[in-house]
Structure 1
Amino acid sequence: MTPTPAPRRSALGILCLCAGVAVFSVQDLILKLLSGAYPLHQAMVIRSLTAMPLLYLLVLASGGPKTLVTPGWPRMVARGLVMFVAYTAYYLALAALPMATTVALYFSAPLMITLLSVLMLHDRVSLPRWLAVAMGFVGVVVMVRPGSDLFDWAALLPVVSGLTYALSMILARQQGATQTAAALAFHGNAVFLICALILSAVFGSGTFAGETHPSLGFLTRGWVTPTAADLGRMALCGGVAAIGLTLLTQAYRVAASATVAPFEYTGLIWGVLYGWVFWSDWPDSTAWTGIAIICGAGLFVLWRETTERRRAPAM
């Protein structure tokens, strides 16, 4: 078979990335709406159970069950554990922070992907792109506001999420040559389900409930009998997760990390929009400054990567 040209692979990766971010933003909205009344582990169990058959259908369409039991399956499980940490930290942050703030801080992930792509994939990154990454982290510090009266320890959770998410996407890039996107997503969801069941076994009875901080309350609250509407919302997260996980995994399988990572920033559009529409949250001047720095750094990284790729054949 003729290999797919690099420009087409990059375009496909970018398209999958933008679509995956848009899909996952719906799950962010739902979980933030539910975070004041239900525990995260309950929503994750229902989400994962709903996603499992959908992901299995994708597996059947992408090579069949044999793709789930390849010699690399332990590495897929390990990646699933990393992703579980990433998304758990992110969802707990959503309970306490405005959506735009959570999303913006999480966007340390593309910067970290650039860093990890050098350390783990040996990608070449120019000095201007390194400077852009450094400026992006300055934007993160501006938004976290360490030492100020407005500092909330929950602001560190999206940064932890960004680091672990970056690691999971680098692992997807490493495994992409031998594993299908559907298999990676299926194993990731299976790990989600097992870990959520473990959290439910620990916190489901409500023994540890009573925490006043929104993030801790979202973690330690006991199971609650959901209304039909809320049960439907939790189940909808399963469909969202199945589609979103596959799209994001596919993006990092088919294209270089440095190419697709800056498009993670499209999630800021959804975070600001949903926060404003549903909670009347609008970033203040400091938050906008941090957002502008982070977005500017990401766009510069994208521009430099594209320019360097175009110049490469002439070198």
Structure 2
Amino acid sequence: MNTTTVNTARLGILCMLAGMFFISMNDMLVKSLSSGYPLHQLILLRSVVAIVFTVMLLMYEGGLKLLNTGRWLLHGMRAVFILIANTALYAAIASMPLATATSLYFVAPLFVTLLSIPVLGETVGPRRFLAIGVGFAGVMIMMAPQFSMGEGGLGWVVLLPVVAAAFYASMSVLTRKLGQTSRASALALHMQFAFISISALVWLVAGDGRFVTPDSNPSMQFLLRAWVWPAPADWLPILGLGFMSAIIGYLMTQAYRLSRASAVAPFEYVLLIFSLFWGWTVFGEWPQASTLVGAAIVIGSGVYVFVREGRLKSKRAA
């Protein structure tokens, strides 16, 4: 391997690490704003800011003609998938520690491997199937103590990060398929348009807060509370969400463009360290021991799947 290839791979890993840091900051800011604003308002404001940066990137890569791909149904499905994933994850973050939601969300790479079979026609051997099974066992270890609706329990909310992971995985598989003919900037712009359109629709239906009460679950309140004009002190973090939404997409695209997926994907798990840091320092949170044990199992399974896929691809290429 020559020096240029090594440096490019290292740059891809640095992009991944930076992307994970900004994702953790994004999640921290969303959680800090979740007690005062509805999620769909934050998503709309974030996307309005992000779309400015995304259009600049689109014009740099080739202009508006890149938007016309002729595969509108798949683009629409992808946008809906990521919207549901975002909604489920952020609703979970409003009710549970950041590290807990992040740990459960780490099942997404295992879903990606499963979905690649019917959607992309890829083959998954018995070893990776076993790793996937072990990973889902780790998820159950994390979820079991928190299913209770009693004191300390989360009830149905504990399912939200897993739902988010499933839809994120579906979006990722479609991105692989669409990425063969579409630029990253075009994919990002389609997504931002979907965020703005659906958030505006939710505002028309539920923007007055008619569907929640002060006694509603914190996640439901975050999803459906009434819109309010942002306080002056909140404009900076809201604008920060928009900037990070754009920069995260760019960094993640660069990470996978500059280096092999099997080399950079395991570094996604550094997100748990950042989430633990923000949860502890900003919100005074610390996850249960069962969460840490289950997270270790899920991360181990995910890393094995990534490494195994990388070795198999190298053998096929040879």
Query: What is the Cα deviation at residue 89 of structure 1?
Result: 0.7
Query: What is the Cα deviation at residue 188 of structure 1?
Result: 0.3
Aligned residues: 310
Identity %: 39
1:166 matched residue in structure 2: 169
Q: TM-score, normalised by structure 2?
A: 0.88
Contact 2:131 2:302 in 1 (8 A): yes
Query: What is the Cα deviation at residue 258 of structure 1?
Result: 6.1
Q: Write out aligned runs for 1:84-103 (5 A).
A: 84-103=83-102
Distance in 1, matches of 2:154 and 2:285, equals 17
Shift in alpha-carbon separation, 1:250–1:84, aligned structure 2, 3 A: farther
Q: Does 1:19 align with 2:9?
A: no
Cα-to-partner distance string for 1:263-290 (whole Å, 9 max, x where unaligned): 4322211111111111121122111111
Q: Write out aligned runs for 1:210-225 (5 A).
A: 210=213, 211-225=215-229
Query: What is the Cα deviation at residue 118 of structure 1?
Result: 2.1
Cα-to-partner distance string for 1:79-128 (whole Å, 9 max, x where unaligned): 11111111011111110010000001111111101111222112233322
Pick from 199, 202, 206 the counterpart of residue 203 of structure 1: 206
Which structure 1 segments of 5+ residues have no match? none
Q: Write out aligned runs for 1:1-315 (5 A).
A: 16-145=15-144, 148=148, 149=150, 150-210=153-213, 211-249=215-253, 261-313=265-317
Distance in 2, matches of 1:73 and 1:138, equals 37
Distance in 1, matches of 2:254 and 2:305, equals 21
Query: What is the Cα deviation at residue 247 of structure 1?
Result: 3.3
Shift in alpha-carbon separation, 1:229–1:213, aligned structure 2, 3 A: same
Query: What is the Cα deviation at residue 254 of structure 1?
Result: 7.5
Q: TM-score, normalised by structure 1?
A: 0.89
Q: Which stretch shifts more, 67-76 or 34-43?
A: 67-76
Distance in 2, matches of 1:263 and 1:130, equals 22
Shift in alpha-carbon separation, 1:115–1:260, aligned structure 2, 3 A: farther
Contact 1:113 1:257 in 2 (8 A): no
> What letter is aligned with 2:210?
T
Contact 2:54 2:189 in 1 (8 A): yes
> What letter is aligned with 1:286?
S
Distance in 1, matches of 2:126 and 2:7, equals 27
RMSD after superposition = 2.5
Corresponding residue SS for 1:38: coil
Distance in 1, matches of 2:196 and 2:230, equals 19
Distance in 2, matches of 1:15 and 1:309, equals 23
Distance in 1, matches of 2:191 and 2:16, equals 17
Distance in 1, matches of 2:119 and 2:15, equals 23
> What letter is aligned with 1:20?
G
Shift in alpha-carbon separation, 1:99–1:134, aligned structure 2, 3 A: same
Distance in 2, matches of 1:117 and 1:215, equals 31
Query: What is the Cα deviation at residue 10 of structure 1?
Result: 7.4
Distance in 2, matches of 1:224 and 1:258, equals 44
Contact 1:145 1:151 in 2 (8 A): no
Query: What is the Cα deviation at residue 212 of structure 1?
Result: 2.7
Shift in alpha-carbon separation, 1:35–1:236, aligned structure 2, 3 A: same
Distance in 2, matches of 1:207 and 1:255, equals 48
> What letter is aligned with 1:76?
H
Contact 2:110 2:135 in 1 (8 A): yes
